[in-house]
Amino acid sequence: MKDCASDVEKKEITRRTFLKMATGAGLLAGLTGALAGCADKNPEHAGGKGWLPYQYNVAGNLPAQVRGRVPIDADNPSIVRDDRKCILCGQCLEVCENIESVYGYYNLPVVDETICINCGQCSMACPSGAISERDDTQKVFEALADKNKFVLVQTAPATRVALGEEFGLKPGTWVQGQQVAALRRLGFDAVLDTNFTADLTIMEEATELIKRIKGEVKKPLPQFTSCSPGWIKFCEYFYPELIPNISSCKSPQQMFGALAKTYYAKEKGIDPGNILSVSVMPCTAKKYEAQRPEMNASAAYWKRDNLRDVDVVLTTRELARMIKEKQIDFTALPEESYDQLMGEETGGAVIFGATGGVMEAAARTAYFLITGQEPPALFLNLTPVRGLAGVKEAAAEIPGVGTLRVAVSHGMANGRKILDAVREGRAPWHFVEFMTCPGGCVAGGGQPRTAVPPTDAVREQRLAALYKADASLPKRNSHENAEVAALYHNLLEHPMSELAEELLHTEYHSRADKLERLFAKVV
């Protein structure tokens, strides 16, 4: 009996048996639930915890006004996109389609490249900073640290009225002297001015215009300016039949690059292979322009294949970043002057940064080259081509020639109006200026993002600063630039000479095979 009693005691629920039983029951319930797929009465699926901007939360297929974003290739030399910051607001597409008339003006399917004119206006409109310029500052820092490199820099006309905004100064503050000082503090071996080649461009371009008008060059009128690389690419894509109208002159940046490794190198006795040619530009398309295969005049000149005329292009924003990285107190810098040989400027060069500026400067010098007299007051204040109207026209009397008719546009949607008129044979103009960016280079795709999206108020302040500088300079005509005169005397002989053609002129090529053009926007 005693034995039986001890057996009963053993079967009592102990802590051990309870845990075993509970675990077994749990496992059984879990397995049953899992197998049946009904463990969760309200099954949750993964995802769906985030958000989308308002315009995408519409039922069905209602069209949204702004939908999606622009395509940017991973190897785009001008702009990059940080997908982590993109909020699909569609502002980039809005600019590309309505301001630059690129997106929506080509048929699909794409051929073999992403259509982009590299203007960077999308980066100016991007509220989250997801689109920005391709950062090349490290290349410059490395070269500056290399004792064997002669690092030479040129600065565009428009950077000097915008760089200050990165350091808290008011839009349009004139910081030319501080910019030079900052570049010296960064360690550049020579600080030179693109204004020098802006004047040179005018000498070449005005000469070409006169030759076209006189029929000495068998090229059609109107002559188109060629300083804005985004516009050039736009024309190559969408209006290839009008390429002969484009001036053969390179842009001031590329003229400068070609001369930096030829004229400057010879005069200073520097091996061109040791020169790193840097430019500071208000423009992202300049990064693309510097990479164009045609832009290696110095390589042809020295017969050294590996030379590029401009090695690195920095935007105004990148220069500001470099100054901040080196902790240079920009606003406290003294005003310094550019180095000699390729550092002189005139008022005509300064206004290159404004819409209508190239036109006005060219008109002044064309008047001089035709009449041999200094241009009258009208040419020094060609007000009809100033300001922010999309398309501007002007007519001015040049004794001995007649009326010079000119037109100016900025933003390629405005440019299309002129281009369509030229294509249809209803263009009365002799000379037309195209600028890719609204307002011209002052509001280029590489300028400080003082207002997002850029406003006319900021553009006007920067433009006013350029015209004020022009009015205050002792020399206002490009043909008065003494260093340009010295260049012709020492090397080029005269505008459009054989060597000038070799170094300063180029040809453009149709890109029509890269897309199927649409002459009206896709609805």
Partner 1 sequence: MGALVDITKCIGCESCVVACRLYNGLEPGQNEGYRTAQDGNTELAPNKWTVIQSHRTEKSEKQIRRFVKQQCFHCLEPACASACFAKALQKTPEGPVVYNEKLCVGCRYCMIACPFGILRFEWDKPFPRVLKCQMCLGRLADGQMPACASVCPTGAITFGERDKMVGEAKNRLTSNPDLYTGQIYGVKEAGGTSWLYISDVPFEQLGFRTNVPEKPIPEYTWQVLRWTPFIFVGWGALLTGMYLYTKRRAGVHEEEEMYAPVDDDGK
Catalytic residue among 100, 165, 204, 205: 205
- Give 7 or 44: the residue with its C-beta nearer to partner 1: 44
Taking alpha carbons only, the member of 424, 375, 425 closest to residue 404 is 375
Smallest separation (angstroms) from partner 1 to the CB of 86: 5
Which residue type, as a one-letter code, is found at position 322? M
Q: d(Cα 437, Cα 24) in Å, to the nearest integer?
A: 74
Check binding of 58 to partner 1 (CB under 8 A). yes
Check binding of 27 to partner 1 (CB under 8 A). no
Catalytic residue among 122, 249, 283, 441: 441
The position carrying tokens 């057996």 is 7
Using CB under 8 A as the binding rule, the residues of this chain from 103 to 122 that contact partner 1 are 103, 108-114
Smallest separation (angstroms) from partner 1 to the CB of 142: 18
Q: Is 92 a catalytic residue?
A: no
Q: d(Cα 154, Cα 465) in Å, to the nearest integer?
A: 20
With CB under 8 A as the contact rule, the residue among 2, 10, 41, 49 that binds partner 1 is 49
Q: d(Cα 122, Cα 98) in Å, to the nearest integer?
A: 11
Taking alpha carbons only, the member of 439, 281, 233, 467 closest to residue 360 is 467
Residue 279 phi/psi, 5-degree rounding, is -130, 145
Q: d(Cα 351, Cα 167) in Å, to the nearest integer?
A: 23
Query: Two tokens at 82?
Result: 């940080």
- Give 1 or 59: the residue with its C-beta nearer to partner 1: 59
The position carrying tokens 């220069």 is 319
Q: d(Cα 439, Cα 228) in Å, to the nearest integer?
A: 12
- Give 104 or 390: the residue with its C-beta nearer to partner 1: 104
Stretch binding partner 1 (CB under 8 A), from 79-87, 208-216, 243-251, 425-433: 79-87
Smallest separation (angstroms) from partner 1 to the CB of 80: 5
Smallest separation (angstroms) from partner 1 to the CB of 383: 40
With CB under 8 A as the contact rule, the residue among 3, 9, 12, 75 that binds partner 1 is 75
Stretch binding partner 1 (CB under 8 A), from 72-80, 162-170, 374-382, 402-410: 72-80
Q: Is 294 a catalytic residue?
A: yes
Check binding of 70 to partner 1 (CB under 8 A). yes
Check binding of 523 to partner 1 (CB under 8 A). no
CA angle 141, 145, 148 (to 5 degrees): 125
Q: d(Cα 196, Cα 53) in Å, to the nearest integer?
A: 48
Q: Is 11 a catalytic residue?
A: no
- Give 185 or 514: the residue with its C-beta nearer to partner 1: 514
With CB under 8 A as the contact rule, the residue among 1, 3, 12, 57 that binds partner 1 is 57
Check binding of 81 to partner 1 (CB under 8 A). yes
With CB under 8 A as the contact rule, the residue among 3, 7, 9, 44 that binds partner 1 is 44
- Give 103 or 256: the residue with its C-beta nearer to partner 1: 103
Stretch binding partner 1 (CB under 8 A), from 82-90, 169-177, 322-330, 460-468: 82-90
Residue 339 phi/psi, 5-degree rounding, is -70, 165
Distances (CA, A) of 283 to 120, 318, 464: 7, 11, 19
Query: Two tokens at 95?
Result: 């600019």
Catalytic residue among 101, 247, 248, 279: 247
Catalytic residue among 133, 165, 166, 208: 208
The size of the interface with partner 1 (CB under 8 A), counted in residues, is 50
Q: Is 318 a catalytic residue?
A: no
Check binding of 378 to partner 1 (CB under 8 A). no
Q: d(Cα 114, Cα 103) in Å, to the nearest integer?
A: 10
Going 122 to 128 to 130 to 136, the CA torsion angle's sign is positive
Check binding of 389 to partner 1 (CB under 8 A). no
With CB under 8 A as the contact rule, the residue among 1, 5, 13, 46 that binds partner 1 is 46
Q: d(Cα 420, Cα 278) in Å, to the nearest integer?
A: 37
Catalytic residue among 100, 289, 360, 433: 289
List Cβ neighbours of 10 (8 Å cut-off, separation of 6 or more).
Answer: none
Q: Is the peptide bond before 240 cis (omega within 30 degrees of 0)?
A: no
Q: Is the peptide bond before 43 cis (omega within 30 degrees of 0)?
A: no
Smallest separation (angstroms) from partner 1 to the CB of 194: 29
With CB under 8 A as the contact rule, the residue among 10, 15, 16, 84 that binds partner 1 is 84
Smallest separation (angstroms) from partner 1 to the CB of 496: 38
Q: Is the peptide bond before 109 cis (omega within 30 degrees of 0)?
A: yes
Cβ atoms within 10 Å of 218's Cβ, excluding its own: 8
Q: Is 208 a catalytic residue?
A: yes
Q: d(Cα 445, Cα 454) in Å, to the nearest integer?
A: 10
Kindly give the residue spans of alpha helices, DSSP state H, lying in 409-497: 412-423, 456-472, 482-487
With CB under 8 A as the contact rule, the residue among 21, 23, 29, 56 that binds partner 1 is 56
Q: Is 493 a catalytic residue?
A: no
Residues that bind partner 1 (CB under 8 A): 34-37, 39-40, 43-52, 56-61, 67-75, 80-88, 90, 93, 103, 108-114
Active site residues: 205, 208, 227, 247, 286, 289, 294, 441
